[in-house]
């Protein structure tokens, strides 16, 4: 018996945040029904393997929600569901007759988490992970981001919102609605930058030697001896105290050597992959 055993989730969301959130709810015991348009989920084209992994264990229903038949089939699914995840813009949901007011009236026990790009009044503006990161200073052109921060943080926020709504319904007997804005999800991960912690030269931005990147004989390592006891242990073992001494010391051995050495000394040192 898992925490969400007996909970049924209908996921209308394509691409990444919604399916990733549904996958995590499934791991908690929820039954997931993924609804796809006849054209399919674009994620299947972008990365078929990841698409399959996120769909694993879920039921798949292919419905044309612009047709009367498709809407009727969706209503049958929602009639027995506890939670709806959507990722279309609010205006598009209204055009389909799937606005929250309509849904809540028809299915009073149904909770909904709506994933959008921006909060009101920009909720109908287009956006994607790349543009959210760009607006927050998280990109270093011409390099593309190494991960999809907004999407993955948005998936986490969707799970949190879903659990909050379901708990609230059990306590109060009233189903609720929550909106997750991916731009705000990205902004939450950009807080260290906004507060200046990770800007170039700041304490966590290369400004101190004990929390920095160093070249080795065959690559790079990340040294994160931030707490005083880690720093003391590291500097006493190597007799190093300045940035130049750090660089000289770590340049003399391989990355694997330093990672193993750090493990023995109980100091956080990791090879940069």
At 102, which CATH number? 3.40.50.10540
Residue 2 domain-assigned?
A: no
- 40 and 99 both lie in a single domain: yes
- 47 and 69 both lie in a single domain: yes
pLDDT score of 1: 87
Low-confidence ranges of the chain (pLDDT < 70): none
Give the Cα separation of 140 and 114 in Å (integer). Answer: 31
Domain stops at, among 141, 164, 192 = 192
Q: Which helix (H) or strand (E) is 74 found in, with range?
A: helix 68-79
Cα 5 from chain centroid? 23
Say which residues have a Cβ less than 8 Å from residue 260's Cβ, sequence separation at least 6: none
- 34 and 87 both lie in a single domain: yes
pLDDT digits (tens, 9 = 90+) for 244-256: 999 999 999 999 9
pLDDT score of 94: 95
pLDDT score of 168: 97
Inter-residue contact 63 to 72 (CB < 8 Å): no
Domain stops at, among 147, 171, 192 = 192
User: CA 43, 44, 46: angle at the middle one, nearest 5?
Assistant: 60
User: How many domains, the chain?
Assistant: 2
Which residue range is the domain that position 113 belongs to? 8-192
Domain stops at, among 139, 157, 192 = 192
- 154 and 85 both lie in a single domain: yes
Residue 198 domain-assigned?
A: no
pLDDT digits (tens, 9 = 90+) for 208-223: 999 999 999 999 999 9
- 267 and 143 both lie in a single domain: no
- 14 and 110 both lie in a single domain: yes
Give the pTM: 0.91
- 83 and 33 both lie in a single domain: yes
């Amino acid at each position: 018996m898992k925490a969400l055993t007996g909970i049924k989730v209908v996921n209308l969301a394509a691409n990444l945040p919604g399916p990733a959130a549904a996958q995590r709810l499934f791991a908690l015991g929820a039954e997931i029904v993924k609804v796809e348009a006849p054209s399919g989920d674009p994620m299947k084209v972008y990365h078929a393997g990841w698409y399959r992994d996120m769909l694993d264990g879920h039921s798949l229903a292919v419905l044309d929600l612009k047709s009367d038949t498709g809407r009727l089939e969706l209503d049958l699914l929602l009639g027995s569901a506890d939670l709806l995840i959507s990722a279309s813009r609010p205006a598009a949901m209204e055009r389909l007759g799937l606005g929250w007011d309509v849904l809540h009236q028809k299915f009073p026990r149904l909770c909904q988490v709506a994933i959008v790009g921006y909060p009101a009044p920009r909720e109908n503006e287009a956006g994607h992970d790349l543009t959210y990161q760009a607006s927050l200073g998280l990109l270093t052109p011409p390099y593309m981001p190494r991960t999809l921060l907004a999407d993955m943080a948005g998936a986490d926020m969707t799970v949190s919102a879903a659990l909050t709504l379901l708990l609230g319904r059990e306590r109060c007997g009233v189903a609720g609605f929550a909106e997750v804005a991916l731009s705000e999800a990205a902004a939450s991960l950009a807080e260290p930058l906004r507060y200046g912690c990770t800007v170039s030269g700041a304490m966590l931005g290369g400004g101190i030697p004990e929390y920095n990147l160093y070249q080795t004989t065959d690559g790079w390592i990340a040294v994160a001896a931030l707490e005083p006891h880690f720093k003391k242990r590291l500097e006493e073992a190597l007799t190093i105290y300045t940035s130049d001494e750090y660089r000289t010391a770590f340049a003399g051995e391989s990355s694997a050597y330093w990672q193993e050495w750090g493990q023995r000394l109980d100091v956080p040192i990791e090879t940069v992959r």
